């Protein structure tokens, strides 16, 4: 199948993602945040919470609510888009929120809500995947306990060829199929899977595996983005480990110390 | 002993160990649940969180703001997941909305709601915010860092374990303290922090 020489408009291989750049902690007022550049897609995600859910009647005493808000800026598409959230944005907010909810330990935060705001500033197909990928980095940045990160990636078909991460041009092909998916990489659990277009069962199976591989690539990028922040510091100073030791001791003796140690009058 | 930065869902250990903070177990394997540094010594698998909100512990000293008065309790914002409560029958002082108080955590329930005792109202001074996960570094080994800060800035400081600091002193002292706290937060991973801060604080007056 791969022998048919299919040329992608941007010269990528069929299983090659666009260039992804993730920067955690970009907003100061949010509890956690991340900026993502996925090809031409650009998004900022801010996480607030867990905090009290209001009005009170929406609270759930067994778990936290995950309020995911996906919005595209009016200038993110060639033709000015209405600022009012449309059907599409509301749907994406719902499915992405549910995908993240399965990764977060929601049962720890009763009556609370975790607000996640994902804003797209520039788009070129695959924005829901980009926003979801950044959202899980932002959640990790906020220190919210999670079972796993949630990498997302789209697969599709254009001109009879299955491809990973289709761009806008490919998405507009005659026989185009678009299948965004998100997984928990640890056990390959699928938390988001949508599809528009038609695929035969054989094709779908192939597409699914391509998608899994794509997600795993995204996962590696996510991990790297989070760790880079700390590992660069470690490289900077060989004594990092020494410092950590010190910190551990502090943590251990915290129980006794916090009582007298910090309660000193000047 | 190796220290490794882990992300949520990353494997820490496959062997049977006691579970410490910020880890969970699935199919007999231990995974991290937050970003942090993994440790598996002393038979305990745990992650020292690098980011995150204040998770209350009994006996912690916290600083908060009174946000409302109910019939029998005061609600206090201590920068945790929920407001915490002080039963009125337990305290003698009258509190008002907006009062800054220091108190001890007396009770925590299963969803991390806190009750407070040993309430003291703090008058004047300034409130400074730091990351709750970096509070141990601000206190330092045997409270060395906090003593250093107090002596060199001539402020009286109370550190809440919830990442809220109360400081009272001269204007210059507070400015200096803010700079020092910034440095501590930024370089909380690096070694010899107390020495570095000492150097920085002793340099300051001569340069100005």
Task: Tell me what the pLDDT averaged over chain A comes to.
Answer: 87
Query: In the prediction, which pLDDT does A266 show?
Result: 36
pLDDT band at A257 (very low <50, low <70, confident <90, very high): very low
B177 alpha-carbon distance from chain centroid: 17
Per-residue pLDDT of chain B (208 residues; tens, 9 = 90+): 456 888 999 999 898 888 888 899 999 999 999 998 888 888 888 888 887 888 888 888 999 999 999 888 899 988 887 888 888 888 888 888 989 999 999 888 877 788 888 888 998 888 998 888 888 888 877 788 888 888 888 888 999 998 899 999 888 888 888 888 888 877 766 666 777 777 777 765 544 4
| Interchain CB contact of B124 with A (< 8 Å) | no
Q: What is the pLDDT of residue B191?
A: 63
Percent of chain A predicted with pLDDT > 70 = 85
Reported ipTM: the value is: 0.81
Main-chain dihedrals φ then ψ at residue A23, nearest 5 degrees: -125, 115
Contact B34 A263 (CB under 8 A): no
Determine the topology of domain B61-122 in CATH: OB fold (Dihydrolipoamide Acetyltransferase, E2P) (2.40.50)
Task: List B residues 152-191 in contact with A (Cβ-Cβ < 8 A).
Answer: 154-159, 161, 168-169, 187-191
User: In the CATH scheme, what architecture does the domain B4-49 have?
Assistant: Beta Barrel (2.40)
Of the candidates A144, A179, A31, which has an alpha carbon nearest to the alpha carbon of residue B8? A144
pLDDT tens figures, A178-200: 999 999 999 999 999 999 999 99
How far off is chain B from A172, nearest CA to CA, in Å?
A: 36
Residue in chain A nearest B60 by alpha carbon: A258
- CATH tag for B126-207 (out of 3.30.450.20, 3.40.190.10, 3.40.50.10790, 3.30.1370.10): 3.30.1370.10
Query: Regarding predicted confidence, which is higher, A58 or B181?
Result: A58
How open is the CA angle A14-A17-A20, to the nearest 5 degrees? 170
Q: The whole model's pTM is what?
A: 0.83
CB contact under 8 A, B190 and A50: no
Whether residue A41 is predicted with pLDDT greater than 50 in this model: the reply is: yes
Cα B50 to Cα A103, B7, B186, distances in angstroms:
20, 10, 12
CA–CA gap between residue A123 and residue A128 (Å, rounded): 10
Q: Report pLDDT for B89.
A: 86
Domain with CATH 2.40.50.140 in chain B: 61-122
Q: Which of A64, A45, A153, A141 is nearest to A104 (CA)?
A: A64
The answer to whether the CB atoms of A263 and B60 lie below 8 A apart is: no
- Are β-strands B29-32 and B4-6 bridged in parallel, bridged antiparallel, or unpaired? unpaired
Q: How many CB pairs under 8 A join A and B?
A: 169
Architecture of the structural domain at A20-230: 2-Layer Sandwich (3.30)
Q: What is the pLDDT of residue A261?
A: 40
Residue A260's pLDDT band (cuts 50, 70, 90):
very low
pLDDT digits (tens, 9 = 90+) for A224-240: 999 887 766 655 554 55
Please, where in chain B does CATH 3.30.1370.10 lie?
A: 126-207
Could you state, in order of their start, the residue ranges of all structural domains in chain A? 20-230
- Tell me the pLDDT tens digit for each residue of A94-146: 999 999 999 999 998 888 999 999 999 999 999 999 999 999 999 999 989 99
């Amino acid at each position: 199948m791969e022998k048919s020489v299919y040329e992608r408009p941007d010269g990528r291989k069929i299983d090659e993602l666009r260039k992804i750049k993730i920067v955690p902690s970009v907003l100061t007022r949010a509890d956690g945040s991340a900026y993502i550049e996925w090809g031409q897609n650009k998004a900022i995600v801010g996480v607030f919470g867990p905090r009290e859910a209001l009005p009170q009647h929406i609270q759930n005493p067994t778990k936290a609510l995950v309020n995911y808000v996906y919005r595209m800026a009016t200038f993110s598409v060639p033709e000015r888009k209405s600022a009012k959230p449309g059907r599409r944005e509301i749907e994406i907010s719902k499915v992405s929120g549910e995908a993240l909810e399965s990764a977060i330990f929601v049962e720890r935060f009763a009556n609370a809500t975790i607000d996640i705001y994902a804003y797209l500033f520039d788009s070129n197909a695959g924005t829901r995947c980009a926003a979801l990928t950044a959202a899980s980095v932002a959640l990790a940045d906020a220190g919210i306990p999670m079972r796993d990160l949630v990498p997302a990636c789209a697969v599709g078909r254009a001109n009879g060829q299955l491809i990973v991460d289709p761009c806008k041009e490919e998405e507009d092909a005659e026989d185009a199929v678009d299948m965004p998916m998100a997984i928990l990489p640890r056990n390959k659990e699928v938390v988001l899977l949508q599809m528009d277009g038609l695929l035969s069962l054989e094709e779908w199976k192939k597409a699914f595996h391509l998608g899994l591989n794509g997600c795993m690539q995204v996962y590696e990028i996510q991990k790297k983005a989070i760790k880079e922040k700390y590992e660069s510091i470690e490289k900077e100073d060989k004594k990092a480990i020494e410092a950590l030791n010190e910190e551990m001791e502090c943590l251990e003796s915290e129980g006794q110390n916090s009582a007298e140690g910090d309660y000193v009058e000047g | 002993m190796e220290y490794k930065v882990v992300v949520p869902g990353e494997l820490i250990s496959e062997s049977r160990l006691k579970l410490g903070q910020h880890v969970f177990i699935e199919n007999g394997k231990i995974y991290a649940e937050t970003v942090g540094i993994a440790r598996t010594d002393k038979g305990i698998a745990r992650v020292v969180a690098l980011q995150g909100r204040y998770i209350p512990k009994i006996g912690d000293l916290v600083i908060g703001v009174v946000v409302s008065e109910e019939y029998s309790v005061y609600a206090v914002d201590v920068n945790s997941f929920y407001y915490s409560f002080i039963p009125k029958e337990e305290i003698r002082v009258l509190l008002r909305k907006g009062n800054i108080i220091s108190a001890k955590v007396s009770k925590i329930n299963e969803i991390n709601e806190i009750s407070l005792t040993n309430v003291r109202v703090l008058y004047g001074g300034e409130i400074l915010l730091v990351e709750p996960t970096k509070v141990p570094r601000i206190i330092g080994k045997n409270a060395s860092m906090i003593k250093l800060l107090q002596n060199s800035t001539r402020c009286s400081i109370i550190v809440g374990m919830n990442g809220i600091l109360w400081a009272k002193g001269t204007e210059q002292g507070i400015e200096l303290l803010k700079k020092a706290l910034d440095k501590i937060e930024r370089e909380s991973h690096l070694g010899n922090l107390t020495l570095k801060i000492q150097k920085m604080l002793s340099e300051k007056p001569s340069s100005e």
